């Protein structure tokens, strides 16, 4: 081969390889999407919107929140798994997605196989609440009341297989008490029946509990955090109340499709870490009743594995199936 032809071949090969190289070097060169597999307005959606603007400013590109609800988070999660592994599609992951992996006989995604972990950002403890007019003033009182009440206790949750539902099953087994689960269409629908005395208890989110307690409608018996929380400094943890290891929470983090280049994953994780550490984001998280719990890929992977194991045991023991 003549030298001129050889040089031309080298130039051609370099040119054909350059788009991929340039894409890596210039990442991000176009807008990024955060897929939230729930409707707008919920806590998870709000977390993504708190993160998106400062993240975009750090990365120099727009970060757009895209809601893809359906199938109790399955639709949006499965959609994100099919996206190109190029760093331009991020999936917000939270506890309902880990529950779906063990709740369904044939889950349509695997969070550990189909995605690469980027960062864990926050957690939201639950609050065990009862009607303000109810007699129990501690978890021990509630359990004792349930053992004497004909038919046992009743509790509500926003859906079959929700964190609130499975937390109720945990309490039922840990306390050795009978408890009937009553599913509703969303947590907000539980509150009126709880306040009206038609339910005995509910594992509420912090914002729901704060509003109900402040309004004089609910009484907080315990929080599921490992230590007391600023919003309820006088309310003991479930662990303090005599239930070791009882610390279920809703955790939030970010994944990208498996195969996303490691430098891109690191860049995203570093940027998300800076966003979460900012005082403005910390303040907005606290207003939502969230605790910042930033961690890198290893920490998020460990959180997901732990949740899958915990909820798998609960679902199996209670023989829970989606409606």
> What DSSP designation does 187 have?
G
The Cα 231–Cα 214 span in angstroms is: 11
* Per-residue pLDDT of the chain in tens (323 residues, 90 and over written 9): 444 444 444 444 444 444 444 444 689 999 999 999 998 988 889 999 999 999 999 999 999 999 999 888 899 999 999 999 999 999 999 999 999 999 887 888 999 999 999 999 999 899 999 999 999 999 999 999 999 999 999 999 988 999 999 999 999 999 999 999 999 988 889 999 999 999 999 999 888 898 899 999 999 999 999 999 988 999 999 999 999 999 998 899 999 999 999 999 999 999 999 999 999 999 999 888 888 889 999 999 999 999 999 999 999 988 888 76
- Residue pair 219/135 in contact (Cβ under 8 Å)? The answer is no
CATH of domain 29-123+250-318: 3.40.190.150
Query: Mapping DSSP to helix (H, G, I), strand (E, B) and coil, where does residue 294 land?
Result: strand
* Fold (topology level) of 125-223: D-Maltodextrin-Binding Protein; domain 2 (3.40.190)
Residue 7: CB atoms within 10 A of its CB come to 11
Phi/psi at 138 (5° precision): -155, 170
- Residue pair 93/254 in contact (Cβ under 8 Å)? The answer is yes
Radius of gyration for the chain, computed over Cα atoms and rounded to the nearest angstrom: 23
The Cα 90–Cα 286 span in angstroms is: 24
Residue ranges per structural domain of the chain: 29-123+250-318, 125-223
Residue keyed to tokens 């959609």: 79
For 2-44, the DSSP string reads -HHHHHHHHHHHHHHHHHHHHHHHH---S-EEEEESS-TTSHH
Query: pTM, whole model, 2 decimals?
Result: 0.84
Listed residue (213, 218, 238) closest to 228, CA to CA: 238
Q: Do domains 29-123+250-318 and 125-223 have the same CATH topology?
A: yes
Pairing label, strands 89-94, 179-183? unpaired
């Amino acid at each position: 081969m003549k030298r001129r032809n050889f040089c031309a071949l080298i130039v051609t090969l370099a040119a054909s390889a350059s788009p991929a190289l340039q894409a890596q070097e210039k990442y991000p060169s176009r807008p990024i999407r955060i897929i939230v597999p729930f409707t707008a307005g919920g806590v998870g959606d709000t977390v993504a919107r708190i993160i998106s603007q400062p993240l975009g400013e750090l990365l120099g590109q727009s970060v757009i929140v895209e809601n893809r609800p359906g199938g109790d988070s399955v639709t949006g999660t499965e959609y994100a798994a099919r996206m190109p592994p190029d760093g331009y599609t991020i999936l917000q992951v939270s506890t309902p997605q880990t529950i779906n992996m063990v709740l369904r006989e044939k889950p349509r995604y695997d969070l550990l196989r189909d995605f690469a972990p980027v960062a864990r950002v926050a957690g939201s403890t639950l609050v065990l609440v009862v009607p303000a007019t109810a007699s129990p003033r501690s978890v021990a009182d509630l359990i004792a009341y349930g053992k004497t009440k004909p038919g046992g206790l009743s509790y509500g949750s926003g859906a079959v297989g929700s964190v609130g539902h499975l937390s109720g099953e945990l309490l039922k087994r840990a306390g050795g008490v009978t408890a009937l689960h009553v599913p509703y269409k969303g947590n907000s629908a539980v509150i009126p029946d709880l306040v009206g005395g038609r339910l005995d208890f509910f594992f509420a989110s912090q914002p729901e509990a704060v509003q109900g307690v402040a309004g004089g409608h609910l009484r907080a018996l315990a929080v599921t955090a490992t230590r007391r929380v600023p919003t309820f400094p006088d309310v003991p943890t479930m662990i303090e109340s005599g239930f070791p290891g009882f610390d279920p929470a809703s955790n939030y983090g970010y994944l990208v499709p498996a195969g996303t280049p490691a430098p891109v994953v690191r860049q995203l994780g570093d940027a998300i870490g800076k966003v979460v550490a900012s005082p403005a984001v910390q303040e907005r998280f606290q207003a939502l009743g969230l605790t910042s719990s930033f961690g890198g890929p290893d920490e998020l992977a460990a959180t997901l594995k732990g949740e899958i194991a915990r909820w798998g045991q609960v679902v199996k023991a209670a023989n829970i199936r989606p409606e």
